Structure 1
Amino acid sequence: MRMTSIKMKKKLEDRLNHPEWNTSFNRDKDTFRIEWKHSRQGITVTIPNIIAKFERRGEEALDELEDHIGEALRIMNQTNQLTGKEKNIFPVIRATSFPKKTKSGKMMVWSEHTAETRIYYALDLGNSYQLIDEEMLEKESWTKERIEEVSSFNVRSLSRDLKHDKVADNDFYFMAAQDGYDASRILNESLMEEMKANSKGELAVAVPHQDVLIFADIQNKMGYDILAQMTMKFFAEGRVPITSLPFLYEDKHLEPVFILAKNRPEK
């Protein structure tokens, strides 16, 4: 028998019963909201999406959802300090369409990167992270320059293990450490220079989503086609998509490229 929105609402109410949380169901929008009673901060989930996951994976999907909601609400309700946690501050790459303000109106700390990407900064909390806003800096008298410096140092300390694949005489290297900062490694200048020094042809790089970084040592025209298809596929599948455009890396500079079939990229 098919799961209805009302039945799923009841399941969620049972699972998310917490003395300090309110839950509510919006029948018109078919959404379910969980929020802290004292602050009204919370998250809203879409019932049909949850039903689809439940019908594929059963109670395991709801276990996972419960964990994610609990973690999200926990982070919302805690006050995090930067001082003393310098080693846990990392840069994260996002699309330029990513909001510059939080939903509560706080301005994020961010820096320019490319025409397609922007750098934000995160405080790592273990199982998740919190994007750093200007209010956090002001409270602790930190400057944006200090955040940039600390995060730049920390990204260089991340693992550099790359998986290699050769396709049509082109070399592709993949970073997928699954630590939340795979794409961030594009900001590790020593890694970028090392890859450039070891490339036989032109070095291209792609950050289609947060959890992958692709290097391509392009040695023939087919390499561009392969990279374009690969980047688009990853972009479509990513949990946090960034950009479907790869970049050429030349003279310590990233240039977004539009790849035309069987042609060198047009800038």
Structure 2
Amino acid sequence: MSNTVRQSLKRRVVELIGRELPDELFCEAEEDGLRVKRRADGTPVVPDIPLEPLYRRVEEKPDERRTALYAFVSRVLAAVRGQTADRSLAGRERRIYPVLRHASLLRENPDRWVFRPHTEETAILYALDHGEGYTLIEREALAEAGWSEEMLHRRAMANLEGLPVPIKTEQVGPNRIHFISPRDGYAASRVLLTSMLEEMERSRTGDALGVAVPHQDVLIVADLHGETGAQLLARLAHDFASKGPVPISPLPFFWERGELVPFLVVQHGPQPRVRRKKNRRD
């Protein structure tokens, strides 16, 4: 995609978002994305919003440029509404869910949000659902509610377990690839449903159960046969991570003895090889 087309898309996104924002907020373009900030002090309302997923979709399907543009803008506005909505937790116990984020988010804001370690790549945060978007729960809101972190986690998991788990399965050679992609904002969160993964582990026929959480709106679980299957999952994880509106991790995982173990596909001589990473949790 040419730089001219990218700049045109960026200007249009900023224009469309700016039209819908309340007076106290504004949208500002940056080199690789954009930010929504408060006019009073310039503080960002949501984390940096990358434009690369929009660029990729328009490049792959130029005939759907308008649809992709408005869908992207809609997601950004939903995120803004979530962050600016009332964050009180009292009486909203049934609207709290766990969400995954890349661990780098916590390195940038180590004291802001309530979180729980997950893998070296990922962390569990918590969302207060507002219908159109959600708010990541901050430590201040938890203290105001008088809840412990363990209480928050139990309530979030109970709500997640009540959600349906729609699965679409595709066969690629001997490998069975299961895509879980409900449009509720918590697709990747289903990876926390240990009983589901254990059931898939028991029913697999291949050498390993693979898992990927490339972005917020999809969870991939795969019955993998040999290194070829692992390499297939790695390609899927990388491809999906580059397209999602809220990327989580481009790395795939093996589900082994109740733990997610990340792996890499590395070039080793004439043939690529699968190599497990140490899973150090903070």
TM-score (norm 1): 0.77
Give distance in 2, aligned partners of 1:60 and 1:227: 26
Give distance in 2, aligned partners of 1:10 and 1:168: 44
Native 8 Å contact 1:169 1:220 kept in 2 = no
Q: 2:170 is matched with which residue?
A: 165
Counting only pairs closer than 5 Å after superposition, residues 41-56 of structure 1 correspond to structure 2 as none
Q: Are residues 1:245 and 2:251 paired? A: yes
Give 1:190 deviation, angstroms.
Answer: 1.2
Give unpaired runs (5+ residues) of structure 1.
Answer: none
Q: 1:79 is matched with which residue?
A: 86
Give distance in 1, aligned partners of 2:67 and 2:172: 41
Q: Are residues 1:97 and 2:104 paired? A: yes
Instruction: Summarize deviations over 1:231-267 as a string: whole Å, max 9, x none.
Output: 1111111211111211111211111112345545444
Q: Which amino acid aligns with 1:206?
A: A
Q: 1:15 is matched with which residue?
A: 19
Relative distance call for 1:140 and 1:101 in structure 2 (3 A) is: farther
Give distance in 2, aligned partners of 1:128 and 1:149: 22
Relative distance call for 1:223 and 1:262 in structure 2 (3 A) is: farther
Native 8 Å contact 2:14 2:27 kept in 1 = no
Q: 2:231 is matched with which residue?
A: 225
Relative distance call for 1:203 and 1:39 in structure 2 (3 A) is: same
Relative distance call for 1:173 and 1:8 in structure 2 (3 A) is: closer
SS of residue in 2 equivalent to 1:244: coil
Relative distance call for 1:183 and 1:101 in structure 2 (3 A) is: same
Q: 1:115 is matched with which residue?
A: 120
Q: 2:219 is matched with which residue?
A: 213
SS of residue in 2 equivalent to 1:257: strand
Native 8 Å contact 1:183 1:210 kept in 2 = yes
SS of residue in 2 equivalent to 1:122: strand
Give distance in 2, aligned partners of 1:70 and 1:134: 24
Q: 1:145 is matched with which residue?
A: 150
Q: Which has the larger radius of gyration?
A: 1
SS of residue in 1 equivalent to 2:238: helix
With CA pairs under 8 Å and 6+ residues apart, which has the higher RCO, 1 or 2?
2
State the identity %.
31
Q: Which amino acid aligns with 1:196?
A: E
Cα-Cα RMSD? 3.9
TM-score (norm 2): 0.74
Relative distance call for 1:187 and 1:40 in structure 2 (3 A) is: same
Q: 2:280 is matched with which residue?
A: none
